[in-house]
Amino acid sequence: MMAKAGAGHRGQSCYLAPVRIEDWPDEWQEWVALTPMERFRESEKIFAQYIALGGSLDPDPDPTSPFDNPSEWNSNAAHGRAGLRVLRRGAS
């Protein structure tokens, strides 16, 4: 989970939707207007909320990453989805 500024893909394109910062959504405009330290503090709050809601700290599956190895990393993930946790494993 790393929310990115203005991230968005157009078709197979690898780069952002071609917009200037001035065209980014209001939430991101406000984010960019913060000081670095303010961003860090806000990020801590978002992270705490994420954890409080049961968010996983396992890496998101990413087949484009050289470190992608779900069997090694996501021992607690259900069906390879980092946001789901296994509460009980059946026989399958």
Smallest distance, other proteins to C-beta of residue 77, A: 13
> Can you give the binding site for other proteins, defined by CB under 8 A?
1-8, 12-16, 18-21, 31-32, 34, 36-37, 39-40, 42-43, 46-47, 50-51, 57, 59, 62, 64-67, 69, 72-73
How far CA 42 is from CA of 37, 39, 49, 65, in Å, comes to 9, 5, 11, 28
Smallest distance, other proteins to C-beta of residue 91, A: 23
CB-count burial class (<10 Å; 0-12, 13-18, 19+) for 74: buried
Smallest distance, other proteins to C-beta of residue 86, A: 15
